[in-house]
Amino acid sequence: MARTQVLLAAVLFGTTGTAQALGPAIAPVVVGAGRIVVGGALLVAIALLARRLRVGAGAGWILLGGFFVAIYQVSFFAAVDKTGVAIGAVVALGSAPAFTGLVARAFTGEPLGARWAAATGLACAGVILLVLGGGSGESAVAPSGVALALLSGLGYAGYAVLGKRMLERGGTPEGVMAAVFGTGGLLLVPVLLLAPSGDLVSGQGFALVLYLGAIPTALAYLLFARGLEWLGAAETSTLTLAEPLTATALGVIALGERPGLAAAAGAALVLAGLALLALRSGDPRPARRPRERMAEAPA
């Protein structure tokens, strides 16, 4: 169930690029800021209504998590502005598993394991092929955009690892996501106030930001957190590579894009990596909540 929740969240994440492409003309950084402001507010409201406000961390961790969320969003949409939706998405999400595994290993001691390494290797090789097969001309390679996408992947890794630790320390999925994304939304309010808003104030602009905040943010990150509660941060990050697969499929269906052979092969490799992670281990015992596992650790 946990892997299914993360995969469903990743599919919802993958709709953002197509929604933006079909929406009105709004600066990408404003779209990203609006998404987190709306999504963060909804997550706070959900946590309050459900009375599940435990965050498992102090103010410093919450602020750092919100900072990582803000960095992820601003750098991601800035990267998309320079490289295009497909390339920005696959570079950011393709780098996230490696960054997450390394950050988790360095700061929490989380073991990576052979299956994670193999799955991440397959998926990242597929992401490289998606990049090579998905762009041409001026949008094929933009070094500054790729650097921003890598920064976005690092930002994602930071809040994924912090979120995992907060859940392990007793936070609820609703409380952790509300705290982190609510803080990220507050940090991004100045972007909405200072950047040119474009068609954000139109009916279509409002509908776009409301969709992005409600579905691929509030709903998706609740699913993401529920999966993260049971899975390691590194495995969770690799499962979210379903996002570029979704983005590619929607590009073909909704936007009429036609990826080449390299892109198709890349999608197949990403799918192979996801399938490898989704396979159950040979241990027949049911998974237990992180707090139960922590109770067994030596003091």
Indicate whether 290 belongs to any domain.
Answer: no
Indicate whether 246 belongs to any domain.
Answer: yes
| pLDDT for residue 287 | 41
Q: Say how far apart CA 214 and CA 186 lie, in whole Å.
A: 17
**Of 13, 15, 41, 60, which is closest to residue 182 (Cα–Cα)?**
41
Indicate whether 133 belongs to any domain.
Answer: yes
Report residue 278's pLDDT band, with 50, 70 and 90 as the boundaries.
low
Secondary structure (3-state) at 180: helix
User: pLDDT by residue (tens digit) across 164-203?
Assistant: 889 888 999 899 999 999 999 999 999 888 888 788 888 9
In this prediction, residues 126-133 reach a mean pLDDT of 72
Indicate whether 228 belongs to any domain.
Answer: yes
Please name the residues in contact with 277: beta carbons below 8 A apart, sequence gap of 6 or more: 3, 115, 116, 119, 235, 238, 239
Percent of all residues in the chain with a pLDDT value above 70, rounded to a whole number: 83
Q: Which of 17-21, 81-85, 118-122, 125-129 has the lowest mean pLDDT?
A: 81-85
User: pLDDT by residue (tens digit) across 203-217?
Assistant: 999 999 999 999 999
In the chain, how many domains are there?
A: 1
Indicate whether 211 belongs to any domain.
Answer: yes
| pLDDT for residue 79 | 80
**Of 227, 179, 220, which is closest to residue 64 (Cα–Cα)?**
179
Task: For residue 165, give its domain range.
Answer: 2-279
**Of 39, 47, 84, 12, which is closest to residue 255 (Cα–Cα)?**
84
When the pLDDT of each residue in the chain is averaged and rounded to a whole number, the result is 79
In this prediction, residues 31-41 reach a mean pLDDT of 93
CA 87 to chain centre: 15
- The model's pTM is 0.78
Indicate whether 265 belongs to any domain.
Answer: yes
User: pLDDT by residue (tens digit) across 229-259?
Assistant: 788 766 776 777 788 778 777 877 887 766 6
Indicate whether 71 belongs to any domain.
Answer: yes
Indicate whether 47 belongs to any domain.
Answer: yes
Angle between helices 59-83 and 28-50 (to 10 degrees): 150
Largest Cα–Cα distance in the chain?
Answer: 58
